[in-house]
Chain A
């Protein structure tokens, strides 16, 4: 479907001919394969998200507003995207246009208020590098520093290794500027009362929860054009020192930074150590990161990644190396932490606390991860989060599943059983990578200070191999059942299954009504319906915003 020449002209007048296209070649590159980056609703072979009618690159808030107003005039659906990594950034219906925010990229550091006012295209690396010049850093979600901060904060999650110390994006979000889906411009918090950007709640309208919800609104409710994000202290140099031969870059940081891989004899001790870390405010960054390569493979993979001359073809030889085997076994149950001392005494205190935790939890430090080159590599990896495409290193695609999130102790008690379940599939099917069952990866906490954990098991598959894709999909179906049988909540690999159909299109409202009328709290979705009615009367978003027609709330729950 194409825009009529008249409508195209109207859009063109807003952004100029250089920043709009309906060339089929350009449009084709704004589509997503659910066999590749489905982001927790697939993977599905042989489908793609729909082709937009046009792609538009606005350069400022006024242009965004002009575009959205035109969309309302002609009832055209629209969606904004930042890096376009996951499926949620792509449109889900035919009569739609795609906004690419890459022209909007300003950063202003407000040193006094310890925050940054940023445009939508600013990603983690851009913001962190600018913030470091002033002695700050920013929260970078686990997706890595290639992702837009605005997209992560408004459109999705925004949690990662730094969150335990810095807080997640939603906690750090101050005032923002937002073109509502009806074309109105809303400045929230202090930005709404002309008092600057330092507070999201006011004086001024406090509506950020409408936008962010619990997981963000995935670009279905207008376009955020500016956002103030709280920064946190960075006790390191103004430029992140990065040395070494590509790709084995490493950071040579001063002594007030250390990266440790803490290893445990049991999941109980693992969980206990985590709570001790929370209680003592110990860590600057915390993640179980490298286990994403799998319990059996992580040692060998780290050897490959820290040696510029090694490749995946060295994996088998490394796996049979007794020393690598020993080192891998040594860090079977582990997590990574970065300690950062603000003063010499602070660092000494932190080291002492760590020793206490090791003693209390019968824990030890991985010797391999203390090798200087490896420690410096891990430091850089965790601080910048610039290697996140390693998620796909094995064969080109992965999906995170299980997602044992309810409670640290409950989750920990199921970890081995989940790992064994996955291992059995790896041993009996060829569709997913055989990496030892436990390939759980996740950050210390979804919130600042600790508490809510977010763990996913990496299921690596080949997006080019139909059997691998469908096999991975089958496996996730199985784990969904496994989770349900144990009353552990939804499987992470299926957490978006009602947001987009397998064929890449939006679900119709009837499907949302059918589903959300059955949930324990249907009012949540009925309320979201009302929000949508108020600010998105022409329904220009898609089905990533979960709504229930209030008429469909079951009688017994009204």
Chain B
């Protein structure tokens, strides 16, 4: 869809402001009632989904020219989709997040991208990673010495896909390593993709670089197919979303699982057994791209039509992505199964979780905004009395680790696999 195809939605958005808040039925306090990092940080109406519709309408109707500020508004969105869930509590004919992304793509197409974004895309093209400065040749270094199969040479049940962040971040590499070791220890027939292991490019999509995303994705899909990959398991929620939703839309027919799903099945099968107590209280942060955006892709081709004079429906039934069936329970079940561990929930969880601030490439393009967003999450986590915050995405982990609460406090951040390993 092009931006102009969203024009009907721009008219039909009812200006209700629900997209600025978590679903109202879930509000437990004024402090944690809001959902959109962008308007919370930048304050003007323009930054909320409603404002984005209005802005886009004026651009499409050619009443407005790009300014630097408009470019800022458009790109300073973490693509977290919280607005989308909130809007769809009542509306069945608006796709707010798709619109936000299309607006970014429109800006990019018109040449309005940040230099940093261009660097990221440049790096994607030259080194197949969106972390500028990193080299393709160093990508697999995190797995040195592990006895995993090389899928370019032999077949395996599972392709373990660490993703750029786990592959390159020296603080996080050990987690990817531990994940893979755990799989191997449990007897899982897992391997690595070797030369076919490249950036998923999900962030390019989240930043509105649709062509660059598609280009990389199509190459990756061909490489996965050539390697005979049957199941991809990834501990990165961004990669998970890219494969599960975006690649599936491009026709990829490979089973995709997040590491937490696999881990849960290993615990359920008795292949992972805990022997140690972990007497601590933790809270769990739902990564946007695993939770509300982690619903599987459902193919659809159709059109809208009106019934009963004016009621707007889709024919055939259009899949409705509203976060209802994201991955929320697997990580919680894992945490609950760890002896001695107590899970204290935050107010904003599951489909209405607050974003960590790293999405949409914001951790690269606007570190202050990104870090403030993570700080909000730490403040909320601290309010539960938890001693640590646990999550299942390297981008969230990195962002939460480097940020602090509004009162300056920090909180230990763990990947869920780290806690599992501690309790083995």
Contacts and interface: CB of A to CB of B under 8 A. Distances in A.
Contacts of A312: 92-93, 311-313
B117 to A, nearest CB: 19
Contacts of B28: 129, 239-240
A145 interface: yes
Interface string B50-94: 110011001000011101011001000000000001011111110
B16 interface: yes
Contacts of B250: none
B137 interface: no
B43 A18 contact: yes
B17 A83 contact: yes
A19 B41 CA distance: 11
Interface residues of A, number: 84
B294 interface: no
Contacts of B26: 242, 249
A246 B45 contact: no
Contacts, number: 228
Nearest to A105: B30
Contacts of B50: 29
A32 B43 contact: no
A246 B291 CA distance: 13
Given A28-B58, A29-B55, A246-B351, A313 B16 contact: no
Interface stretch (B168-176, B260-268, B302-310): B302-310
Nearest to A461: B310
Contacts of A133: 29
B302 to A, nearest CB: 10
B12 A245 contact: no
B282 to A, nearest CB: 21
Given A25-B46, A315-B308, A433-B310, A125 B33 contact: yes
Contact of B44 (A36, A55, A83, A314): A55
A395 B310 contact: yes
Contacts of B312: 312, 394-396, 462
B114 interface: no
A16 B115 CA distance: 28
A104 to B, nearest CB: 12
B92 A393 contact: yes
Contacts of B8: 464
A26 B14 contact: no
Contacts of B51: 29
A240 B320 CA distance: 27
B33 to A, nearest CB: 5
Contacts of A105: 30
B308 A36 contact: no
B45 A30 contact: yes
A530 interface: no
A229 B311 CA distance: 39
B54 A397 contact: no
B208 interface: no
A380 interface: yes
A57 B25 contact: no
A31 interface: yes
Among A23, A37, A430, chain B packs the most CB atoms within 10 A around the CB of A23
Contact of A28 (B33, B43, B55): B55
A461 B309 CA distance: 9
B283 interface: no
Nearest to A394: B311
A105 B318 CA distance: 39
Interface string B83-107: 0010111111100000000000000
B11 A125 contact: no
A88 to B, nearest CB: 12
Given A33-B11, A384-B25, A386-B25, A28 B64 contact: yes
B307 to A, nearest CB: 6
B17 A396 contact: no
A105 B21 CA distance: 14
Contacts of A23: 67, 69-70
Contacts of B44: 21, 26, 29, 55, 57, 100
B14 A392 contact: yes
A529 interface: no
B343 interface: no
A431 B21 CA distance: 32
B323 interface: yes
Contacts of B16: 83, 85, 144, 146, 388-389, 392
5 contacts: A23-B67, A28-B46, A146-B24, A308-B324, A393-B91
